[in-house]
Amino acid sequence: MTATAPIDPTSTEAWSRLAGLAGLAAGFSPDLRGWFDTDPGRADRFTLQAADLTVDLSKNLLTEEILTHLVQLATEINVAGRYQAMIAGEHINVTEDRAVLHTALRRPKDGADLVPPTGFVVDGQDVDADVHSTLDKVYAFAEKVRSGTWTGITGKPITTVVNIGIGGSDLGPVMVYEALKPYVQEGLECRFVSNIDPVDVYEKTAGLDPETTLFIVASKTFGTLETLTNARLAREWLWNQLLSTGAIDDTDAARIEAVAKHFVAVSTALDKVAAFGIDPENVFGFWDWVGGRFSICSAIGTSVIIAIGPDNWREFLSGFHVLDEHMRTAPIDQNVPVLMGLLNVWYSNFLKAQSHAVLPYAQYLHRFPAYLQQLTMESNGKTVRWDGSPTTIDTGEVFWGEPGTNGQHAFYQLLHQGTRMVPADFIAVANPAHPLKDEAGDGASVEPGQDVHALFMANFFAQTKALAFGKTADEVRADGTDESIVPARTFPGNRPTTSILAPALTPSVVGQLIALYEHIVFVEGIIWGIDSFDQWGVELGKQLALQVTPAVQGDADALQSQDSSTKSLIAKYLKLRN
Ligand code: F6P
C-alpha cells in the first residue's frame, strides 16, 4: 500500500480562494460577453495546443484569477508528483494494491529519453519488454489474418472478426473501430458482442459465414459472466453452423479443431482461457496493472489491430504517447488535461454542475461519449478516498453526450435554456474522411456545390457561440418579437464550453483524444483524493444477480426470500413469460 495519504483539497489555500471567488453564498456571476468585449486577447491566451489538438478554453467560466487558483490547487495537491508516481509504477491503485501503468502500453520500443528509462522494472517485471513482446505477437497474428494466411477450419480466410467482451473489453475496441472505419482493410469487418441479452449474440452472428468468422474473447479476468456466457453461445453457434453444412464431423476432435481455428482470447487469466478450450498459443496477455477501462492500448485492441493493421495501430499508440508526454512535461498553466481536469473540479465543486456533456462533431466518434461514460464514471464515482475516509465534497461528474448535430435536435434546448448549467466539450476535425458537396443546394441559404462539412462545422462554431453569449431580451425585442414571448426566446448565455479541434480523425488523433480524457480523469481523481483505478461499486449488482438467478428460474424458495418489490417483479416476469 502506498504511504501517501490523500491531501484534503478543502484544506488547501487555493480551495478557500476558489470558494471565495465562486461566492458560494452570493452566487457567482460570470460575464462571458463582458470578458470577451474588454479583453481582445482572451481567446488567444486561453487557447492551448496539445500535439494535434487545438483546445480553446476561452468560453469557459474562467478568469485569470480563477486560473491562478486552479493552478495553485494542482500544485498544492501535487498532481504532477502523483503522475510521476503513476508512470513509475508506484501502487497508486491503493485498494487493489496495484501499479497503474496504461501509459507503459504506448511507450515506443527502445525510445530514447523515456521517463522512466527503457527497461524499467515494476514489481520484478520488465514492463517495456513484456509490452513489446505481446504487441509483436498480436501484430504477427493480425498480419496473418489480414493476409489470409490464418484460415478457418475449411481453409478459407477470415472476413469477420467478432469481439466478445464487455466494459473496457468492449467499449474501447468498438469505439476505436468506429472512429477509424476509413482505415479498416477492405474485405474485413468487425462486430462486437457485449450484452448478455441473447439478442446481441443472435444479431451479431446473423448472416455470418462460420467458415470465415473469427471470435476474440476479450476479458481481463476471464470471469465475467456476460462475456463467458456469450463466448459459449458463440462456440455453440460455430459448431452448429459448421455441422449443419457438413464443414466438420460430429466428433470432439473436430469441435476442438474448430475452436482452435476460430477462437482466440485476450486475457490476464491464461489458465481460465485454457479451460474454455482456447489454445494457449492463441492467447494474448496483459497485466493486472492495466485497468479494464484503460486497456485499449493493450492486446484488448486485437480486433482493431486486425482491422486497421499494425502500422496504423503504431500511429494510434504514438498519439497516446505524445499526449502522455504533454501531460508529463507541460507547465500546469499550459497543460491541457490538467487544466481541463481542474475546470471540471471548478464546475463540479464550486459551481455545482451535475453533469458534463461531450459532443463530438465527427460522426465516426459516435461511440466516444459511451466510451467516456465508463472511463470517467467507473473511475471517479466514489464516496470514499483512497485511505478509506469519506469524501466531504462531490466527486465524479455524470458524463454523457451524442454526436452533433443530432444532439442539437434532441437535448440542446436544456443546454441553452435549462435551469442547470452543463459544461460541454465540443470536439471536431477540420478534414472529414469523406467530404461531400451538396451539388443542388436549396435555392436559399445553401449554395449549389456547398461543402457539407463546412455546414456541419458552422453548427459546431455557432453552438458554442450561442451557449457563451446567449441572446438578451433587448436583442430578442429588436427582432420584432411579440413581448409576450420575449422571455421564452431569450438565451441567458454564460454556458461554458471547451472547443477541441484537430486536423483529421487519424489514428494518432484518436489516440490523443483518448489519452486526453484518461489524464483528465486522473487529475480529477487526484484532486478529490479518490482511487480512480478500482471499481468496487460494480460488485454488489454482480453478486445479487447470481443470488436472484434461481428465483428468476422459478425456484419458489429463492423467490420467497426476495424483498417484496423484487419478489412481485419476478413473479410478474414469470407470469409474462411464454
Ligand atoms: O464490471 C466492471 C468491469 O470489471 C470493468 O471494469 C471491466 O472493464 C469489465 O467489467 C469487463 O471485465 P473483464 O475484462 O474482466 O471481462
Among 538, 540, 544, the mutation site with the greatest number of ligand 1 atoms within 8 A of its Cβ is 538
Q: Which residue has its alpha carbon closest to ligand 1 atom 3?
A: 167
State whether 193 and 335 are in the same domain.
no
Q: What is the pLDDT of residue 256?
A: 95
Q: Tell how far the Cα of 167 is from the centroid of ligand 1, in angstroms.
A: 5
Summarize pLDDT for 369-428 with one digit per residue, the tens.
Answer: 999 999 999 999 999 999 999 999 999 999 999 999 999 999 999 999 999 999 999 999
| Residue 167 Cβ contacting ligand 1 at under 6 Å | yes
| Residue 224 Cβ contacting ligand 1 at under 6 Å | yes
pLDDT band at 51 (very low <50, low <70, confident <90, very high): very high
Q: What is the pLDDT of residue 24?
A: 57
The closest-lying atom of ligand 1 relative to the alpha carbon of residue 300 is 14
Report the C-alpha gap between 263 and 481 in whole angstroms: 65
Active site residue 378: yes
State whether 291 and 383 are in the same domain.
no
pLDDT band at 28 (very low <50, low <70, confident <90, very high): confident
| Residue 219 Cβ contacting ligand 1 at under 6 Å | yes
Q: What is the pLDDT of residue 1?
A: 44
Among 174, 221, 276, 543, the mutation site with the greatest number of ligand 1 atoms within 8 A of its Cβ is 221
Q: Tell how far the Cα of 105 is from the centroid of ligand 1, in angstroms.
A: 18
pLDDT band at 26 (very low <50, low <70, confident <90, very high): low
| Residue 538 Cβ contacting ligand 1 at under 6 Å | yes
Q: What one-character-per-residue DSSP string does 192-203 give? A: EE--SSHHHHHH
The closest-lying atom of ligand 1 relative to the alpha carbon of residue 227 is 16
Least Cα distance to 196 among 578, 561, 571, 542 occurs for 542
Structural domain includes residue 408: yes
State whether 295 and 399 are in the same domain.
no
Q: Tell how far the Cα of 292 is from the centroid of ligand 1, in angstroms.
A: 6
State whether 349 and 383 are in the same domain.
yes
Structural domain includes residue 134: yes
Structural domain includes residue 403: yes
Structural domain includes residue 553: yes
- Per the residue annotation, which of 178, 226, 325, 378 is the catalytic one? 378
Tell me what the mean pLDDT of segment 241-267 comes to.
96
**Dihedral sign (CA 311, 296, 264, 236):** negative
Cell 502500453 belongs to 105
Tell me what the mean pLDDT of segment 126-154 comes to.
98
Q: Is 54 helix (H, G, I), strand (E, B) or coil?
A: strand
Structural domain includes residue 551: yes
Summarize pLDDT for 60-87 with one digit per residue, the tens.
Answer: 999 999 999 999 999 999 999 999 999 9
| Residue 407 Cβ contacting ligand 1 at under 6 Å | no
| Residue 535 Cβ contacting ligand 1 at under 6 Å | yes
Least Cα distance to 254 among 241, 265, 239, 264 occurs for 239
Report the C-alpha gap between 233 and 182 in whole angstroms: 31
The closest-lying atom of ligand 1 relative to the alpha carbon of residue 169 is 14
Q: What is the pLDDT of residue 215?
A: 98
State whether 371 and 520 are in the same domain.
yes
Q: Which of 282, 311, 340 is the last residue of a domain?
A: 311
State whether 135 and 219 are in the same domain.
yes
State whether 374 and 514 are in the same domain.
yes
State whether 547 and 502 are in the same domain.
no
Q: What is the pLDDT of residue 522?
A: 98
ipTM of the complex: 0.98
| Residue 172 Cβ contacting ligand 1 at under 6 Å | no
Strand-by-strand arrangement of the 53-56 sheet: 47-50, 53-56, 497-504, 424-431, 355-361, 398-400
pLDDT band at 4 (very low <50, low <70, confident <90, very high): confident
Q: What percent of the chain has pLDDT over 90?
A: 95
CATH number, residue 217:
3.40.50.10490
Q: What is the pLDDT of residue 23?
A: 81
Tell me what the mean pLDDT of segment 296-314 comes to.
98
State whether 511 and 562 are in the same domain.
no
The CA-atom distances, in angstroms, between 384 and each of 1, 352, 381 are: 16, 19, 10
The closest-lying atom of ligand 1 relative to the alpha carbon of residue 378 is 6
Structural domain includes residue 91: no
State whether 293 and 425 are in the same domain.
no
Question: Is the predicted pLDDT of residue 34 greater than 50, yes or no?
Answer: yes
| Residue 168 Cβ contacting ligand 1 at under 6 Å | yes
As a whole number, the mean pLDDT across the chain is 96
Least Cα distance to 356 among 340, 336, 379 occurs for 340
Among 93, 166, 228, the mutation site with the greatest number of ligand 1 atoms within 8 A of its Cβ is 166
Structural domain includes residue 55: yes
Strand partners, 264: 216
Report the C-alpha gap between 470 and 241 in whole angstroms: 59
Q: Which of 311, 341, 367 is the last residue of a domain?
A: 311
Structurally, the chain folds into a number of domains equal to 3
Tell me what the mean pLDDT of segment 125-144 comes to.
97
Summarize pLDDT for 516-535 with one digit per residue, the tens.
Answer: 999 999 999 999 999 999 99
| Residue 169 Cβ contacting ligand 1 at under 6 Å | yes
Q: What is the pLDDT of residue 565?
A: 98
Report the C-alpha gap between 275 and 203 in whole angstroms: 27
| Residue 227 Cβ contacting ligand 1 at under 6 Å | yes
Structural domain includes residue 114: no
State whether 340 and 294 are in the same domain.
no
Summarize pLDDT for 449-469 with one digit per residue, the tens.
Answer: 999 999 999 999 999 999 999
Range of the domain at 32: 9-77+330-430+495-528
Q: Tell how far the Cα of 355 is from the centroid of ligand 1, in angstroms.
A: 24
State whether 145 and 170 are in the same domain.
yes
Q: Which residue has its alpha carbon closest to ligand 1 atom 16?
A: 219
Active site residue 409: yes
Tell me what the mean pLDDT of segment 340-347 comes to.
98
Cell of 86: 503513476
Active site residue 439: no
Q: Which residue has its alpha carbon closest to ligand 1 atom 1?
A: 538
Q: Tell how far the Cα of 269 is from the centroid of ligand 1, in angstroms.
A: 13
The CA-atom distances, in angstroms, between 494 and each of 33, 56, 168 are: 8, 15, 35
Tell me what the mean pLDDT of segment 101-107 comes to.
98
- Per the residue annotation, which of 409, 434, 437, 572 is the catalytic one? 409
